Amino acid sequence: SDATPPPPEPVSPAGNGPEAPGATAVAPQAVAVPAAPAQTPTAVTRPTVKKRSTPKAAARDIVPLEEPEAGASPADSPLVVEEGRLGKIKVPALLKRCAALSRPVVLRVRTGETETAVHFAAGQIGRIASRLRHRDNAGQWRQLGYLMVRDGLISDAQHDQVLERLEAQPGLSFAAALTQFGFTDGETLRQALTRQGKAALYALILFTSGEYRIEADDDEIPAEEEIALQVDALIREASHHQAEWTAIRKALPNLAAVLDFTADGREKLEQVRLSVHQQQLLSQVDGRTPLGILCSRSSLMDYEACRFLYLMVKAGVLQLVAATPR
């Protein structure tokens, strides 16, 4: 069965020894966190896509079946099945739509600095890749690398070796480098990629914003990066977190929200034990940087980072100082 996303990093009282899973001194009843692509499809004919009815309220946000730009060769222009803006159009609906198509497609969602590519084939998700558009190759894989070190799947030394290989080979993926070194087996890697992929999709569901694009996908998924995720099962799992996500959206209205420390926030932090990655994330809170950028630049997965910052607001360490309407 598919692996489930990892729990959030614990936040423990200072001086109480090792962190215990789920322990928290700053927020009661912390809920467990459900936790580069190369694309140049070569299709030269339009796929046969069954047209679906679209709610009138969302119709203006969809541009279906766009042709490649004039003068562009098929190799340079992927065949666009649909594109639009998220908002009235929700991510779960797009996931179902892509899974129901008769040919392989890739759903690309661009939110701020991050682009997430979800590859579909045979009615299920076969690959999820989330990357920062302005980061070097080694930096793209920082979150996956941290996840695997944290879960004890690779050592710090192995992680550093992989990053050195990525810097030397710009087109190489983290999964491919791991496979070259033989640091992990295929099933363990698949489980880690599944957890990271789910967390990436949960972040998109939590804050529905950005632009999306569905393209015909003729590229083969690398064996070391392939997962098998059923859309209906993913959506059912996500529904179990709706209550918490509603609370998060109430405290943090959107990805443009800006946070800063409360008057006694830093003093409260002296009473808790935080991981290095949590400390690094909090060090970037300055009353100016939007939530979306804080999360995307963190070594925590976006979803974990957002949830952690929410817990800090709930505990009175941080406060909302600005939120730009959607």
DSSP 41: -
Task: Give percent above pLDDT 70 in the chain.
Answer: 72
Taking only the tens place, the pLDDT of each residue in 310-321 is 999 999 999 999
In order, the DSSP letters of 231-280 are HHHHHHHHHTTHHHHHHHHHHS-STT-EEEE-TTHHHHHTTEE--HHHHH
How far does Cα 227 stand from its chain's mean position? Answer: 15
Q: Which pLDDT value is given to residue 17?
A: 39
101 falls in which pLDDT band (50, 70, 90)? very high
Phi-psi region of 71 (alpha: psi -120 to 50; beta: other; left: phi over 0): left
Q: Which pLDDT value is given to residue 87?
A: 86
Question: Taking 60 as the threshold, does the pLDDT of residue 38 lie above it?
Answer: no
231 falls in which pLDDT band (50, 70, 90)? very high
Question: What mean pLDDT is predicted for residues 79-84?
Answer: 87
Question: Taking 50 as the threshold, does the pLDDT of residue 54 lie above it?
Answer: no
Q: Which amino acid is at 311?
A: L
Taking only the tens place, the pLDDT of each residue in 150-172 is 989 999 999 999 999 988 888 88
219 falls in which pLDDT band (50, 70, 90)? confident
Determine how β-strand 114-121 pairs with β-strand 258-261: unpaired
What is the rounded distance in angstroms from the CA atom of residue 99 to the CA atom of residue 230?
A: 9
